[in-house]
Structure 1
Amino acid sequence: MKPFLFCSAAMAAMALQPISAIAQEERISGGNDLGITAPADAFPEEPGSDYFLANYTQYVAYLNLLEKQSDRIKLVNIGKTAEGRDQWMAIVSSPENLARLDEYRDIARRLAKADDLDADEAKALAAKGKAVVWIDAGLHATETVTTQSQIHVLYRLLSQNDPETLRELDDVIMLFPQDNPDGLELVADWYMRKAKPEEREFGSLPRLYQKYVGHDNNRDSFMSQMPETENANRVMFREWFPQIIFNQHQTGPAGMVVFVPPFRDPFNYNYNPLVMTTLSEVGSTMHSRLVSEDKPGSGMRSVAPYSTWHNGMFRSIAYFHNAVGLLTEIIGGPTPERIPLVPETQLARNDEPMPIAPQEWHLKDSLEYQWFLNRAVLDYASRNRERLLLNIYKMGATNIAKGAKDSWTITPKDVDALEAAAGDAPPPPEDGINPWRARDRVASSLYSELQKPENRDPRGYIIPSGQADMPTVTAFINALIKNGVDVEQATNAFSVEGKNYPAGSYVVKTGQAYRPHVLDMFEPQDHPHDVEYPGGPPKAPYDITGYTLAFQMGIGFDRILEGFDGPFTAVADLVEPPAGKIAGTASAGWLVPHTTNNSFILTNRLQKAGVPVSWVMQPVEAAGREFQAGAIWVPASSKAQAIMAASTAELGVDAFGVSAAPAAETLSLKRPRIGLIDKYGGNMPSGWTRWLLEQYEFPFSVVYPQELDKGNLNNKYDVLIFADGTVPGDEDSLYRAPREGEQPDPKDIPAQYRGWLGEITQSKTVPAIAQFTQSGGTLITVGSANRLAELVGAPVEAALYKQDGNQRKMLDRREFFIPGSLVTARVDNTQPLAFGMPQQVDLFFANSQSFKAKGNGATPVSWFDNATPLHSGWALGQDKLKDTVAVFDTNLGAGKIFMMGPEVTQRAQPYATFKFLFNGMLYGPATAKK
């Protein structure tokens, strides 16, 4: 039957129908009186239809058509994606607002930054300005509801003339970006590749739906390394400053349709509480809108694990920028499914106000929910336009004021200290108020325990120039700038609190609107002790608990507790590292310190050109300075001269010319042939590692299990890297099992991907890897992949377990639980695997394994030397790490196995531990016995 067109009045009426009525219609959107092409007339099939997905190419074509037809939309290209596509954002508002976008953007900026306004000026601007709302789609590309629904949301906003739509267009500037264009194109094309609709699926997708990191594109926000994240953060925190950031996902809780905020605890103590109270308002408005439209099945708080702790996600980074961050998780997809009967979801309660009956569910049903969720957010923003604008100013102004005076951030450790100070002292008199609570009260005078002078928040941070790895310092500064943080740089040398600092040092003051984000990047996280019930096991956090970026990147900085100033100038935009210098006359060659991560780029460029490169194995004095063990030695030649001249300045790497070769022992490096292990469907840690290898210009190939199983690996590779999650877990659960999806039948996928199928097995793969290593190959295992190192015979075993008869068992969570935190370890930087590193480093530890030697041939490189290594995050039983080894250098036959229990390349954030991997790729092949 040919779908019929609705008039605009019928369209509005349809929007109010219950789901059963909508399901009877073949169309989601009808005609209109404004000449706007409906989605059904612009795509091969209407987006939202069963067994159909529109791809990004089709979506962009529709956007361009809409822009030609409507004066309510303006398209903006916000940058390139990882695969080189243009990332488009639709700005929707009234024609009058679109004509004055620069003015309204400036108002939003001034109110959000709050640094050049008083309260009266802010109130006047809020009255004049427009609310700005970000509503995105497609971040996780297999969550197809969001991408298909955005098409209809845009159409309805451009084609409807009802009073609510017109009011929202007048009061709100709406930003509609596509977060992951590459993923949308890949997933939609993959789904549509089969001619028979009932055979379509995207569960067998061959690779990650973001080129490098897949699902982790929603964990990159504070680091902002993927291009799509950088584009989004620039719009949100440097250009448009939305007061509401709505990040849409799926899938919903079992037996329900959609999760909508508010969220469960824990509450991150760094951000302004007005963010959370406003978030609860908006979330309640969304639930109420669904209920009023007869859309049952929404839930909040306890129905899902989502909290507001971690700073790395699109919606959660909003909190640290004084914006309301919304997350919805909805069911649905192009393939029809059923809402199952889950008994506990059938009883109405505060967190599930309107249960839904089990039923068949279609994508267009989810799209109707999405419309009303979007509608609720826009209606809230419209009705609260002035208050949203004024509140973001108030939060920014409050943060600025806090940074200019003594202030304290109360953390769980502070509360523990207060309780300890109270001790067994009797409670204060009941004073007639809530006498039954008297046992829980302590003397008010003990409040001073929470405001000890030494525990004040810093007024700012000084990052001295001249650090051993200034390019990494620059990367840290740029991560802050990408997130809208105000950074200053010293134009001259200066002194603060009796300490001298050189010109070029960076200054980050906490007296700024984005103070919560600043504190979160410099201060240790102190995650609450969150348990399932009193005395029970710890409740798994949503994502990680400790991630302080300054710690992960090994940045040297000083916390300044008093107000300070100096010859500082604002840093206007992203910065380049200080240019490297070549000092002295290189009649014999050059020595390059090993301390800079970028020295590996220089090494790789030299080796690619055939220039010999060596490491000096002991500390040496030359060129008027001392070099730590591992200094890079480059003999003089015309080819070397050209590369040194071109690369040192660009990379921020200093080189020192010498008139004689070093007298100490040197290790001659070879250009390694590197194999990075991946698997069908893609592995995110492997993807992050691939991105790192590309950034640092290492030569490598991606290797899949079928190739490993063929053996003779030494003919093609010198190094094999197994990232976390690339090796199946063990039956004792001492090594985390990766998330495994079912692999497709080879005949169901294109021939080009069939060689990617397969799994690492104990029967075939392990012997091939053992032979590779014993014959001189280098095996690098990270995180859970260290199970492979044990299987091939490394003289090392797991240390974190309990013995149950003849069987090793994982420790109970009550005994040991470190869910993604930073722990401090000792480092022997005289060992080649740790050349260039300091003697102490923060490691990212996510319920990882630590190790102990088993026989000869294992050299500890990094280990835990005390019972309290936690530096940022949450840890139970951390004392069990004491005297265990985090990183081992082991021998096996003629080869090497480098075991790295913690994830030393975790999401490409811990720059301070990259050298473990980088050194291993060069050191192992250089020492292989022939």
Structure 2
Amino acid sequence: MKMPLSPQWLFLSAAMLAMPLAASAQTAPAQFFKQPPGTDYYLANYTEYEAYLKKLAGESDRMKLVDIGKTAEGRTQWVAIVSTPANLARLEEYRAIAEKLARARGLDDVAAQRLAAEGKAIVWIDAGMHATETVTSQGQIQVLHRMLTQTDPETMRMLEDCIILFGHDNPDGMELVSNWYMRHADPKKREFSTLPRLYQKYVGHDNNRDSYMAQMPETENVNRVLFRQWYPQIVYNQHQTGPEGMVVFVPPFRDPFNFNYDPIVMTQLNEIGSSMHSRLIAEGKAGSGMRSAARYSTWHNGMERSVAYFHNSIGLLTEIIGGPTPTTIPLVPATQLPRGDELMPIGPREWKLQDTLDYQWTLNRAVLDYASRNRERLLFNIYRMGANSIAKGSKDSWTITPSKVERLANAAPLKVDGSDEYERPRAGGPKKVDPALYASVLQAPEDRDARAYVISADQRDMPTAITFLNALIKAGVEVERATAGFTAGGKSYPAGSYIVRTAQAYRPHVLDMFEPQDHPNDIPFPGGAPTPPYDVAGYTLAYQMGVGFDRVLDGFDGSFTPVADLMTPPAGRIEGSGNAGWLIGHETNNSFILTNRLLKAGLKPAWLKAATMAGSTSLAPGAIWVPASPAAQAIITTAVRELGLVAHAAATAPAGEVVKLKPVRVGLVDRYGGLMTAGWTRWVLEQFEFPFEVVYPQRVEAGGLQRNFDVLLFSDGAMPGKGAWGNDRPARQPSPEDTPADLKATTGNLSDAKTLPALTDFLRNGGSVVAIGGSARLAELFHAPLTHALSRTENGETRGLDTKAFFIPGSILRAQVDNRQPLAYGLPAEIDIFFNRSPSFTPTAGQGTATPVSWFQGRDLLRSGWAVGQEQLAGTIAVADIDVGRGKLFVMGPEVVQRAQSYGTFKFLFNALQYGGAER
């Protein structure tokens, strides 16, 4: 299915093609900026960078400047398209070729070879994603000017064979970091280690964990370019800093790699990486490392360079040292002996910013040289991978996973008579099993890959399912909608259901979003500690979001139409004709938006504590009751249409106990420099229209919190960790005399000695505290009747369990829920919950009463990812409601809003905020 271009892109394309071609760029960076980018102790900011891009676009016939959207703070995100004037005049033609080959639909090898011969290699090279990694943005300025002005044969060949998309991932961050660094007149005082807030408005460093979800505007903009407009064969994502005692990490990467994507990705990735190392070494630039030189792998889908693999593009990551303040390469003995992963070591030496930029220039040139020399092969291979995906999704196929291989390895060894030398076991050699087991274990009929995933229109929470589908669409996945009822896999589905087929070019991404990740047991030797994955091990998005779907193993037909672009939830409705008020189910996350709008208007909704009937519809505990009024009528009429809700008009008010809601004053605890967990939470609260105020340590410890707040929210890490609760690393802060006046109230760190009295007073006066992840240590500080279940005490010191005994590094587990409890209203009886080295609890003697709300039952909990010692969680409590004085302490060990992805467990937090502020 061809994805349509946005009107903005079509307009810009037409405008660019109509622009007169100017002369080659003449303005060098040294002539434009206050100091030449690359000068020690100097950083250009984004305002200056943007102005320079516009200057070059007006001077050069090798460059077109394209606006790809706005950032979180409203800046324009630009892409500079660089190639020959002749290629730029035919941009749409080359873009269309790239799209046809990447989608692979309706092509055969002959047609693909013809298009590959006609097309140009599309290469994305970006900068600035992590804004404190300043060298990438400063280096891009130099690279752009050189590519626009040099006339050597190699440059001209690169321009002729390639269309280069020079992007910037984080304009807001570049502006913040550069301005903070340059705020001092004395160069020796310049630093950016004391930044006052996150360098992406909401998520800081985690902007490179948003690629499959694309909830940040910058990520959505980049994904649109990569997977819905330009389809580059190479995606080069530049970072820093490099390994200790070295200069730069360059692919290839260490294992494991994700088994969903096409192996051609890996072979070409290794080729390009080797070319990059070779060019550095040929130019005498020592200090590059690969594979074991760093932790980077290709497992996780959430990063810009890694999401490329699931789209048949070659994702490159480099991590390089340097910065505007000169430094020294330390002497690390382990890096001094040449080896396969570090071919040309570097000794200790002074290192300046321009040294880094010179390496970046070489690396950029190596990538472009490879793309130029392998243009046709790159274009054909992206087609080949797409065609492979379509073919696999059109027939019975199997994905071999570590669990299946483990079952195969546990089978009885092959019995041989010794007549066949290939069957004879060799001393110390690998185990051999009966070849017949290949089919019975690795290709069991019930283990076939799905032909399609069906998301039925009768979801518990259809608006959340639409958000999930939109995430797929943002990543270029083809989605269809049923215009009539149909049958698939022996089950009937209503019109309005959605189908995601695996017979499409981006099949690897589809599988990765619906299927569980099966991370291998990466343990270096028997009895050794697990090797941590790079980032997380299990993240299946459909599981995290609580989306109901069916795996369909055989082909099926029906009346389906392609979804052209991002969707809004299907319009809801008002059922019934009663005039006493309305009942709304609690199952839809969007119901909290409605409740917040009602509370904002001064109305008084309530939650019914018992199940009830609304006409012929049974509503579970927690149904929202809204008494009739003209104001409520107006809000509900609009909300059901916009938010996809069903409101039941009731003739009489329901009987029974209710939780009376009132406007809630939420304080979100953060700290100087910004916590990413608080930033993600802030974004979620804004999307669901919760009113809140960010609270810093000085205000918390000043006490009298009940004057301003009903609920205080501590995200993971907001409360300093100790022992089994993690190790706190306070943010660096400027000295008092160096802190701007408007930031002084944000400085400081929470301490047990001062925080506990303030919170104790708050709880005793009826306030509520929500503590997530490591911040659930507050239960221990309040002597609540719960204890950390995953800890041990030795010599009077409490620590977390050894990783050889318990290790769940970012995975999805199955948990039980008591959805009769207000904290769990609207949730099913079983949920998938994200667990990342999280605490869990066991009952103990203590103060107050703790009510379990969610817990782990049984020994087989893993749904997606990797779990060592998961049986240690059996019977432990994940979420609890604790009475403390007149107040409430809600503890949630798992990160229920992790990276704003786990929509399926948002209700724990949302309920806590509204219930925490309810009338007692």
User: TM-score, normalising length from structure 2?
Assistant: 0.96
* CA–CA separation in structure 2 for the residues paired with 1:772 and 1:490: 53
Counterpart secondary structure, 1:822: strand
Q: Which residue of 2 aligns with 1:797?
A: 787
Task: Name 1:443's counterpart in structure 2.
Answer: 434
Cα drift, residue 583 of structure 1: 1.2
Q: Please name the residue that 1:417 is paired with.
A: 407
Q: Displacement, 1:437?
A: 6.3
User: Does residue 1:872 correspond to 2:861, yes or no?
Assistant: no
Residues 1:819 and 2:809 aligned together: yes
Match of 2:884 in 1: 892
Match of 1:774, as an amino acid? R
1:592 corresponds, among 584, 587, 599, to 584
Matched, 1:193 2:164: no
Q: Which residue of 2 aligns with 1:710?
A: 702
- TM-superposed CA distance for 1:897, in Å, is 0.4
SS of alignment partner, residue 577 of structure 1: coil
Q: Matched residues in 1 for 2:559 and 2:25: separation?
A: 59
Point out where structure 1 has 5 or more consecutive residues left out of the alignment: 1-32
Pick closer, same or farther for the CA change 1:365–1:677 going to 2, 3 Å: same
Q: Write the letter of the residue equivalent to 1:139.
A: M
Pairwise mapping of residues 215-226 of structure 1 onto structure 2 (< 5 A)? 215-226=205-216
d(CA) in 1 for partners of 2:258 and 2:138?
33
Which residue of the partner structure matches residue 90 of structure 1? 80
1:537 aligns with 2:550: no
Residue 357 of structure 1, CA deviation: 1.4
Q: Does 1:344 align with 2:334?
A: yes
Q: CA deviation at 1:803?
A: 3.7
* Deviation for aligned residue 1:749: 2.0
C-alpha separation in 2, matches of 1:255 and 1:762: 39
Q: What is the match of residue 486 of structure 1?
A: 478
Residue identity matched to 1:740: P
Match of 1:610 in 2: 602
Quick one: which of 260, 263, 268 aligns to 2:258?
A: 268
SS in 1 for 2:381: helix
Greater shift, 239-248 or 746-755, is seen at 746-755
Deviations 1:543-577 (A, max 9, x none): 00000000000111110111112111111111110
**Offset at 1:447?**
1.2
The letter for the 2-side match of 1:818 is I
1:655 equivalent in alignment to 2:647: yes
1:389-404 → structure 2 map (5 Å cutoff): 389-404=379-394
Superposed, 1:61-210 pairs within 5 Å as: 61-210=51-200
Question: Aligned AA for 1:221?
Answer: S
Determine whether 1:558 maps to 2:575. Answer: no
Deviations 1:407-428 (A, max 9, x none): 1100000001101223585697
How many Å separate the matches in 1 of 2:429 and 2:190? 64
- What amino acid does structure 1 have at the position aligned with 2:703? G
1:513 corresponds to: 505
Q: Distance in 2 between matches of 1:469 and 1:411?
A: 31
| Paired amino acid for 1:573 | D
Structure 2 residue ranges without an equivalent (≥5): 1-22
5 Å matches for 1:729-744?
729-730=721-722, 733-744=723-734
Residue 354 of structure 1 pairs with residue 344 of structure 2: yes
Tell me how far apart the structure 1 counterparts of residues 32 and 799 of structure 2 sit (CA, whole Å). Answer: 59
Q: How far off its partner does 1:927 sit? A: 4.7
Q: CA deviation at 1:926?
A: 1.3
Which amino acid in structure 2 is aligned with residue 445 of structure 1? A
The amino acid that maps onto 1:115 is R
- Is the alpha carbon distance of 1:723 and 1:439 closer, same or farther for their aligned partners in structure 2, counting shifts above 3 Å? closer
Q: C-alpha distance in 2, partners of 1:112/1:689?
A: 36
What amino acid is the match of 1:799? A
Determine the C-alpha separation between the residues in 1 that align with 2:77 and 2:655: 55
1:858–1:891 CA contact under 8 A, matched in 2: yes
- CA shift, 1:702, in A, is 0.1
Q: CA deviation at 1:440?
A: 2.4
CA distance in 1, matches of 2:623, 2:25: 70
Aligned AA for 1:441?
K
Which position in structure 2 is the counterpart of 1:295? 285
Q: 1:748-797 deviations in whole A, cap 9, x for unaligned?
A: 12111111111110111111111111211100000011112321232221
The aligned residue for residue 20 of structure 2 is none
Who is 1:5 aligned against? none
Q: 1:643 aligns with which of 626, 632, 635?
A: 635
- Mapped to 2, the partners of 1:428 and 1:63 lie a distance apart of 72
Matched, 1:496 2:519: no
- The answer as to whether partners of 1:825 and 1:869 remain within 8 angstroms in 2 is yes
Q: Match of 1:25?
A: none
Q: Is the 8 A contact 1:767 1:792 kept in 2?
A: no
Letter in 2 for 1:754: K
- 319 and 428 in structure 1: CA distance in 2 versus 1, 3 angstrom threshold: farther
Q: CA deviation at 1:99?
A: 0.4
Residue type of the alignment partner of 1:50? D
Distance 2:619 2:433 in 1: 57
Does residue 698 (structure 1) correspond to residue 690 (structure 2)? The answer is yes
Q: Residue type of the partner of 1:106?
A: A
8 Å CA contact 1:92, 1:169 repeated in 2: yes
Aligned to 1:926: 918
- 1:90 Cα deviation (Å)? 0.4
Kindly provide the CA deviation profile for residues 140-172 of structure 1, in whole angstroms up to 9, marking residues without a partner as x. Answer: 000001000000000000010000000000000
Which residue in 1 is equivalent to 2:203? 213
Secondary structure of 1:771's counterpart equals helix
Identity across matched positions, percent: 61
Tell me the residue number matched to 2:42: 52
| Residues 477-529 of structure 1 deviation map (CA, whole Å, 9 limit, x = unaligned) | 00000000010010001112321100010000101100000000000000000
Give how far 1:821 is off.
0.3
The more displaced of 203-212 and 639-648 is: 639-648
Select the residue among 455, 465, 473 that pairs with 1:473: 465
Determine whether 1:634 maps to 2:651.
Answer: no
Instruction: Tell me the residue number matched to 2:308.
Output: 318
Corresponding residue of 1:4: none
Residues 924, 285 of structure 1: alpha-carbon distance in 2 compared, 3 angstrom cutoff: same
1:278 maps to which of 268, 274, 280: 268
**Counterpart Cα distance in 2 of 1:305 and 1:720:** 37
Shift of 1:892: 0.2
User: Any idea what the Cα deviations from partners look like across 1:293-324, whole Å, max 9, x if unmatched?
Assistant: 11111000001000000000000000000010
Offset of residue 805 of structure 1: 5.4
CA–CA distance in 2 between the matches of 1:779 and 1:429?
73
Amino acid at match of 2:707: N
Which AA in structure 2 matches 1:650? E
Partner SS, residue 533 of structure 1: coil
Query: How far off is 1:596 after superposition?
Result: 0.4
Aligned residue for 1:816, secondary structure, equals coil
CA distance in 2, matches of 1:871, 1:919: 25
Supply the RMSD in Å over aligned alpha carbons.
1.3
Q: Distance in 2 between matches of 1:794 and 1:707?
A: 24
Q: How many residues align?
A: 894
Q: How far, CA to CA, are the matches of 1:438 and 1:836 in structure 2?
A: 55
2:231 is the alignment partner of 1:241: yes
Residue 363 of structure 1: how far off its partner (Å): 0.5
* Residues 425 and 807 (structure 1), Cα distance of their counterparts in 2 relative to 1, 3 Å cut: farther
| SS class of match (1:596) | coil
The answer (yes or no) to whether the contact 2:414–2:434 under 8 Å persists in 1 is no
Aligned AA (1:87): Q
Whether the 8 Å CA contact 1:427–1:441 is kept in 2: the answer is no
- Residue 855 (structure 2) pairs with residue 859 (structure 1): no
For the 8 Å contact 1:705–1:756, the answer to whether it is kept is: yes
Change (3 A) 1:880 1:435: closer
Pairwise CA distance, 1:802: 2.4
Superposition pairs for residues 361-372 of structure 1, below 5 Å?
A: 361-372=351-362
Contact preservation (8 Å) 2:233, 2:313 = yes
Q: Deviations over 1:361-420 (max 9, x none)?
A: 010100000000000000000000000000000000001000011111000000011012
